[in-house]
Structure 1
Amino acid sequence: MIDKLVLALALLAVGFALGSIALWVVWRSKDTNKYRKLIAVTVFLTFDLIVFGGFTRLTDSGLGCPDWPGCYSEMNPLLAHEEIKAAEAALPHGPVTVAKAWIEMIHRYLAMAVGMLIVAQVIVAWRMWYQNRHAQFAASKQPKRSPWMASFLLFFVCLQGAFGAWTVTLKLQPIIVTTHLLLGLGLLSLLVWSLEREQTSLIKLTHRASVLRILAPVAFVLLWMQIGFGGWVSTNYAALACTGYPTCNGVLLPDLDWEHAFHLWRKLGQTAEGEYLPYSALVTIQWVHRSFAWVAIFAVGSLAMILRSEPHLKILGNQVLAVLLLQFLTGVGTVYFNWPLALAVLHNAGAAMLVLMLTMINYRVRYSSSAQAA
């Protein structure tokens, strides 16, 4: 028990050291609103963490260190070199190699750094709230924000960390890994929302405001569903279950196995009864993801086209269209080019970028000046 506590403290020290570098960047910045800068840096690192998490998953490094939070009860793979080499010698193409161990631990170090920055946000948010309660700070130009958003972020990142631990201890169980992915994107979305709250000006919308207030959240939900289907493809290793595009293994509608494809609580590669997962189930998982993609593309694309008619959102609408096109091309490219790692990672990054931009759009549309007047 003491050894585990010492290990946990050592890993927290690593996260503190990495987070301190980011805090130094915030402190040295010329931005007068240091809290806003802190959130912006956290958004940047969280986006990087999500992309690197996708790289970890796609390189099959999720069990590179088969225990948690350390690596064979050590704080880094260098100290666990003998155990890792022994596991690699026993299974040369197995989940444990030196490279995979480092990939997994770097992912954990980055996660701890993000957690440390969120702790810093909580401290600063509560300090500002306490100061603004006093009369001598009444004339302060700092925005009077509630500290509860930052506090909720701390709870959320702890929940995300718990699913990260269960990802390892439950041996990459698909529902746990998919939930871990969605929670990571949820954390990114909440951080972007917090960052938007620190902006001092509201945008003005035209007569299309009522349409945008409906379409923006609908597009966000459909995008979220599509990412969930994509995560289910990745965590079940079904990326190449369908060859060719737009057909799947030469047909538009293959034989589908709904019973096994979306049974959530089961082990990796197995059915709920413990038998091998049928190939038809993997085909179904892939086919649903590529089919529902058109629904998400239509919703997000329609939103972007309407945004292009709004003077204050035109640039953001063009950016959404560009990322949406890139996302489609990388998705199709992974099939045509037999799942190259670079394209697969870029496809994951595109999904995270769309979540980031649609969060910005939803905030700006909801709190537009016309919405305030209404």
Structure 2
Amino acid sequence: MNESLKVIRWVSLSGAVFCIVVILVGVATRLMDAGLGCPDWPGCYGRLVVPDHATAAEYSSQPLEPVKAWMEMIHRYLASALGLWVLVINALAWRQRSAFPAVMRWSLALLGMVLLQGAFGAWTVTLQLWPQVVTAHLLGGLTCLSLFFAVWLSSRQRSGEQNNESGSLRFAVAALMGVLILQLALGGWTSSNYAGTGCVGFPKCNGEWWPAMDVSEGFHLTQTIGPHYLYGQLHAEARTAIHFAHRLNAVLLGVLLLVAYWLAHRRASAAQQPLGWMMSVYLVQVALGAILVTQGMPLVVALLHTAGAVALLLLGWWSLLLTPQLAVASSRVSGRVSYE
């Protein structure tokens, strides 16, 4: 095997793991209300490291909170390191662009997404935690993770091979992925609007099966910017609408997961295994969600909930990859994708 391709595989896979770390540190920064720990970007009070109180006071009227400032800067340092990781992948992919053009395409897409993430990081601060930007920043991180996976996958797939279509199963898994992406977006919107406590109690919300909600305000995507969105600006019923939508979509996600798993089992598909793992992670996610709304949003549980969302995303892409590969009992499968 080409040595450069081996390196691309290792770098893309390890980059995906590092990307997960960056995502979780970013979520921790958000949960610790440290998103504005530094009032400027890319430095902190005009410095590349967190300064002392006297230096910070000379730069800005915003009081320095060292723990929050360091949390924000650590996230930036890690994100910058991830950017360098992506540059390495692109340099290696350029050397393989003729033999493996898909690797080059995905690597370029990853580079573009990382650059956009840098812009989102700046806008998060300059637009004072505007929920639209904060949510997009989270989804951008998950997109980067997905692209790392795509680079790794394309470096393993042999040239000239194609997938078979598998009808209803592939459609079911594709629909599952669409609803999962929507669920991730709703989770980000819930977090960025501080709507995690919009519903108290489980399975009921605020003691009701259908609570009072203000949907139009909760999903008003053209809201004005400022002065800042630390701790949120929406009233209680708007936050309830956001949280409740997240719960309803979770139910839909569970139904589609059951359908996809049943179809995979019926067709003896290779996708049955990752879909089975998805069901296990989904149940854990429901339990973690229940703990969050009944125990006052503990930080560790919130991070585990985010890690579960990342696991669902990766298992979902894996399931989508495997849906064309049906394990037919006769073993006479034509056009099956194979990997080195």
For Structure 1 versus Structure 2, the TM-score category normalised by the shorter chain is: 0.7 to 0.9
- Cα contact 1:174–1:266 (8 A) shared by 2: no
Q: 1:188 to 1:165 in 2, by over 3 A?
A: same
Q: Which AA in structure 2 matches 1:56?
A: T
Aligned 1:155-166 pairs, distance under 5 A:
155-166=112-123
Q: 1:219 aligned to 2:191? A: no
TM score, norm. by length of structure 1: 0.78
Which is worse superposed, 146-155 or 164-173? 146-155
- Cα contact 1:216–1:361 (8 A) shared by 2: yes
Aligned 1:305-344 pairs, distance under 5 A:
305-307=262-264, 310=268, 312-344=270-302
Q: 1:81 to 1:40 in 2, by over 3 A?
A: farther
Which is worse superposed, 251-260 or 168-177? 251-260
Q: 1:42 to 1:373 in 2, by over 3 A?
A: closer
**Aligned counterpart in structure 2 of residue 199 of structure 1, from 147, 156, 165:** 156
| Distance in 2 separating the partners of 1:86 and 1:318 | 57
Q: 1:249 to 1:36 in 2, by over 3 A?
A: same
1:49-69 per-residue CA deviation (whole Å, 9 max, x = no partner) reads 111111111111111111100
Q: 1:268 to 1:239 in 2, by over 3 A?
A: farther
2:220 match: secondary structure: coil
Q: Which AA in structure 1 matches 2:220?
A: H
Aligned to 1:362: 320
1:164-203 per-residue CA deviation (whole Å, 9 max, x = no partner) reads 1100110000011001111111111122122122224789
Q: After TM superposition, give the deviation of residue 259 of structure 1 in Å.
A: 2.0
Q: After TM superposition, give the deviation of residue 326 of structure 1 in Å.
A: 1.1
Q: 1:173 to 1:145 in 2, by over 3 A?
A: closer
Q: Count matched residues.
A: 324
| Distance in 1 separating the partners of 2:226 and 2:334 | 49
1:95-132 per-residue CA deviation (whole Å, 9 max, x = no partner) reads x51111111111111111111111111111111225x5
Q: After TM superposition, give the deviation of residue 82 of structure 1 in Å.
A: 3.3
| Distance in 1 separating the partners of 2:227 and 2:236 | 11
- Cα contact 1:160–1:184 (8 A) shared by 2: yes
Q: Which AA in structure 2 matches 1:165?
A: A
**Aligned counterpart in structure 1 of residue 31 of structure 2, from 33, 58, 62:** 58
Aligned to 1:74: 47
- Cα contact 2:45–2:59 (8 A) shared by 1: no
Aligned 1:279-298 pairs, distance under 5 A:
279-298=236-255
Q: 1:87 to 1:48 in 2, by over 3 A?
A: same
Q: Which AA in structure 1 matches 2:75?
A: H
Unaligned ranges ≥5, structure 2: 328-332
- Cα contact 2:270–2:325 (8 A) shared by 1: no
Q: After TM superposition, give the deviation of residue 242 of structure 1 in Å.
A: 1.4
What percentage of aligned pairs have identical amino acids? 33
Aligned to 1:350: 308
TM score, norm. by length of structure 2: 0.85
Q: 1:345 to 1:85 in 2, by over 3 A?
A: farther
Aligned 1:179-258 pairs, distance under 5 A:
179-200=136-157, 209-258=166-215
Aligned to 1:126: 94
Q: 1:100 aligned to 2:68? A: yes
Q: 1:209 to 1:247 in 2, by over 3 A?
A: same
Aligned to 1:38: 11
Q: After TM superposition, give the deviation of residue 87 of structure 1 in Å.
A: 10
Q: Report the RMSD for the aligned CA atoms in angstroms.
A: 3.2
Q: 1:260 to 1:204 in 2, by over 3 A?
A: closer
| Distance in 1 separating the partners of 2:258 and 2:147 | 23
**Aligned counterpart in structure 2 of residue 170 of structure 1, from 109, 124, 127:** 127
Q: 1:31 to 1:148 in 2, by over 3 A?
A: closer
Which is worse superposed, 211-220 or 303-312? 303-312
1:31-62 per-residue CA deviation (whole Å, 9 max, x = no partner) reads 97111111101111111111111111111111
- Cα contact 1:244–1:250 (8 A) shared by 2: yes
- Cα contact 1:203–1:368 (8 A) shared by 2: no
| Distance in 2 separating the partners of 1:291 and 1:330 | 16
- Cα contact 1:67–1:169 (8 A) shared by 2: yes
